Structure 1
Amino acid sequence: MKLSMASGSLLLFTWFAVMGFLQAVTLEVRERNSTCIKAELSAVFSITYNTSSSPRTVQVPLPNTTTVDLASSSCGSVAGTPALVATFGSGHALGLSFSTNGSLYSMAALMLQYNLSDSSIFAEANSSAVVTVTSASPGIWAAINTTYHCVSATSVILGDQTVTFSDMRLEAYMPGNGLSSDETICAADQAHTTTTTPTTTARTPTTASPAPTTPGPPERGIYSISNSNGTVCLLAQMGLQLNVSYVSQSQNKTVQEYFNLTPNLTNSSGSCEDNSATLVLAQGRTTTLSLIFTLNSTANKYHLSGINVLANWSDMTAPFSAENTSLDYLRTTLGRSYMCNTEQTLAVVPSFSLNTFKLRVQAFGVTTNQFATAEECQMDQDEMLIPIIVGAALAGLVLVVLIAYLIGRKRSHAGYQTI
C-alpha cells in the first residue's frame, strides 16, 4: 500500500510539474535580523478523506501564496527545536522541525495540517475537522554548514497521506543569511547521475575492498517508547549490526564495514501514532538508526515498513545515508509480539543492510508494559524442526536395526532341529 501510494504521488507530481501547476516557494525563518532556516521547494500533498458515499483522494499543490507562520516558527531555544511552519489556504499548514548532533542536521519531524471544511479542496467531506498528521525522521539530512539539495521527487508518508517534495534546497542552523554554496546532495540524485556531482564527497570510488571480518554478534539492547500519556506503546529487545558500504577517505575506494550498536552507548527515542510507530536509536553523534512500523488495521497486522540510517564515521569521505520506506519485514498479528532468535539480514538498499540478533519486538497493542504472546519467525521454526527430524530419523534407524536383529535371531534358532 505504501509503495503504490508513493509511486502514484511521484507520477502525479511529475504531471503537475509538466503542466506548470507546481511553483517553487521560498520560506524563511528569521530571528534578530538573522536567518536560521531557509527552504526553497515545491510540494504536492496527496490527501485521502471520507465523503458520505466513499473515500476520495485529492492532490493539493503547495501554492506560491504560502507564508511563514511567525508565531509558530522558531530558530530554537533551550526548550524547543528549530521549526518552520508555513500556512496556506483556509487553515492548512506544513511544518518542518530540525535537530542536530553537531556535525549533521536532519528534519526531525514533518507535519501536515489540513482543514476538511475547505470545500474548495475537500468537496462533499463528511467532516469539518482540522486534521494533523506527522512523520518522525523522514530521512532528510545534511552536514552542518551545507545546503540540502534534492532535485528528485521525494515522498514522505504520514499515515494515509503523502507529501512529495521536488527541487528542494534547504538549510537549518545557518551561519549566514543565504544558503551555503557547499551542498549535501540527496541519495536519489546521486543514484541518478552518471557524472561527478558537487556533493560534500570529493573522491571517486575505485574497486571494492575484500569482504570485512565481522565484529561478532552485537550485545542485545532493551528499548521502549511511551506515548504522550506515559503509556508504553513500543517494546524491543534485539542486537543490531549495521552493514555499510561507503567510500573510505584513507583508502580512496569503496569499503564494507560492520558496525555493532552498543546498548549502553545508545539513546532511544521515537513516537507512536494510531497507525505508525517509530523507534530512533542514536549512538553518539555518529550513528542514527530509525525503524518505522506500520499498522494495517483492516488486516489486523503490523510490520516493519521503513528503515533509515545516518552515519558520519571518521573514515568516510562524506556522511552516509540510506532509507527505504517500502519494506515488509517482521510481519505480525496485532496484539502479539514478533520473535526471531536466529540472525536475520534485512536488506534496505544495495549499500546498506541491517542484521538482527535475538530479536523480539512489539509496536502496537502493548499492555502492562510487557510483550504479548510471540509469533516466531520461520527460521526459528525451521531450527526447531531440524532436531525433531534428526531425532525421528535416528529413532527409525534404531527401530530398523532392532527389527533386523530380531529377525536374524529367529532365523538362527530355526536352523536347529530336535534329535
Structure 2
Amino acid sequence: MKQKCTCSLFIMVLTFISIADAASDAANKGVYKVVNSTTKEPCIIFQADIYLYLTYHTSDSEKDVIVHVPTSSTADTGVSSCNVTITTSGMSVESQLLRVNLDHMNGWTIDFAFTKDNRFKTEKEKQFALYQVNITANFASDPTAFPDFKYPTQQYYLHVDPNDLSDIGGSIFASVGHSYYCPSEQKYAINDNDNDKYGPMAYIKFKLTTIQAFMEDTDSFGPKETCPTDQSTLDLVPIIVGSALAGLIVLTLVVYLIYRSFLPEEVLNLVNPEAHFDSDTASNDEIDKTSSIERF
C-alpha cells in the first residue's frame, strides 16, 4: 500500500511539473493569428518566442543589438492575408502573409510569408513552407535603446532563391493540415552578408515554436511534425519517465525489506500471524514430538 501511494505521489509530481512548464511556456511566447474574412477561421497560427539580432549603422561605424519581440505583440489585420500574391526576386508567389506589429515599439514590424508553391520544394504543394522573413526596424522610436543611429528606419530582407533555399525555407515546413513544432531554440540568418541590397546583417531566433499555415475549417493545430533537433529529445522522455518509475519501485521495495528486517517478532506476528510460529506453541510441539518418539 505504501509503495502504491509513493508511486501515485511521484506521478502527481510529474504531472504538476508538466502543467507548470506548459503554463510557463504559454506565458513566454507570442500567439499570432491571421483570420480568413469569409470563414472567420484562422488560416495561419504562429506561436513562438522571437528574438532579433540586428546590426545597424551608426554615424561612423556599426552596432549590434538584440531585440526581444514582446509576447503581447499582435498580427496586423490590415496587411496580413490568407491569399496574397507576393512579388520577390522576379517571381510571383501565391502566399499567405502574417505581419506582426511589435508592441510598444512604434514602426517595428516582421513579415512572415508562407507558400505551397512547389518551386520551394513543397512536395507537389502538399506542404507549406516559410520562405520569406522581412523586418522593418524603426530605431528612431527609441534613441536611448538605439543610440547614434545613422538611418532612422532600416529594412532587413531575406533573399529568396528557390534554387538555393535559405536556412529558414529549408527548415520550417510541414504537411498541409499539420503543424510545424520545434520547442528548442533555432537561430536563422536573414542576412549574413553586410550589403546595401538586403540591409545590414540580421538573424532571427525562435523557441517554443508551433506554426501552421493554409489552415481550413479549424481553429486549432493539426498533428505535430517535430523539427529534427527535438525528435531525439522527445523520444527520450518516455524512457526517462519509465526508468524513474522503475527505480522508485525498486527503491521502495528495498526500503520496505530493510524496515521489515528490523521489526521484532511480536510485531511481525501482529502483521501476519499465519507466517510465524508462536514460541510457546513451537515448544509444546517439540515436547509432543519427543513424547511420541519415546512411546514408539
Give TM-score scaled by structure 2 length: 0.53
CA distance in 1, matches of 2:150, 2:28: 28
> Are residues 1:323 and 2:157 paired?
yes
Give the alignment partner of residue 342 of structure 1, picking from 176, 184, 193: 184
CA distance in 1, matches of 2:241, 2:30: 35
2:14 equivalent in structure 1:
none
Aligned residues: 175
> Are residues 1:379 and 2:229 paired?
yes
Which deviations, in whole Å up to 9, do the C-alpha atoms of 1:118-176 show, x marking residues without a partner?
Answer: xxxxxxxxxxxxxxxxxxxxxxxxxxxxxxxxxxxxxxxxxxxxxxxxxxxxxxxxxxx
2:254 equivalent in structure 1:
none
Equivalences for 1:12-51 in 2 at 5 Å? Answer: none
Query: CA separation of 1:389/1:232 partners in 2, compared to 1, >3 Å: closer, same or farther?
Result: closer
- Identity fraction in percent: 21
Q: Which has the higher contact order (CA 8 A, sep 6+)?
A: 2
Asked if structure 1 preserves the Cα contact closer than 8 Å seen for 2:34 and 2:75, the reply is no
- Give RMSD over aligned pairs: 2.7
Query: CA separation of 1:272/1:254 partners in 2, compared to 1, >3 Å: closer, same or farther?
Result: same
1:397 equivalent in structure 2:
none
> Are residues 1:271 and 2:78 paired?
no
> Are residues 1:285 and 2:135 paired?
no
Give ranges in structure 1 of 5+ residues lacking alignment: 1-217, 395-419
Asked if structure 1 preserves the Cα contact closer than 8 Å seen for 2:73 and 2:100, the reply is no
2:97 match: secondary structure: strand
Asked if structure 2 preserves the Cα contact closer than 8 Å seen for 1:366 and 1:372, the reply is no
2:45 equivalent in structure 1:
235
CA distance in 1, matches of 2:237, 2:43: 37
Give ranges in structure 2 of 5+ residues lacking alignment: 1-26, 85-93, 119-123, 193-200, 245-296
Give the alignment partner of residue 219 of structure 1, picking from 28, 46, 54: 28
Q: 1:322 deviation in Å? A: 1.3
Moved beyond 3 Å, runs of 4+: 265-269, 385-394
CA distance in 2, matches of 1:366, 1:383: 31
CA distance in 2, matches of 1:363, 1:257: 30
Equivalences for 1:13-162 in 2 at 5 Å? Answer: none
1:228 match: secondary structure: coil
CA distance in 2, matches of 1:357, 1:289: 16
Give the alignment partner of residue 129 of structure 2, picking from 291, 303, 318: 303
Give the alignment partner of residue 55 of structure 2, picking from 245, 249, 273: 245
CA distance in 1, matches of 2:125, 2:227: 19
Asked if structure 1 preserves the Cα contact closer than 8 Å seen for 2:49 and 2:207, the reply is yes
Asked if structure 2 preserves the Cα contact closer than 8 Å seen for 1:338 and 1:360, the reply is yes
| Counterpart residue identity of residue 154, structure 2 | F
| Counterpart residue identity of residue 239, structure 1 | D
1:342 match: secondary structure: coil
1:236 match: secondary structure: strand
Asked if structure 2 preserves the Cα contact closer than 8 Å seen for 1:223 and 1:268, the reply is no
More helix by share: 2
Asked if structure 1 preserves the Cα contact closer than 8 Å seen for 2:109 and 2:135, the reply is yes
CA distance in 2, matches of 1:391, 1:368: 33
Q: 1:302 deviation in Å? A: 0.9
Q: 1:272 deviation in Å? A: 1.2
2:72 match: secondary structure: helix
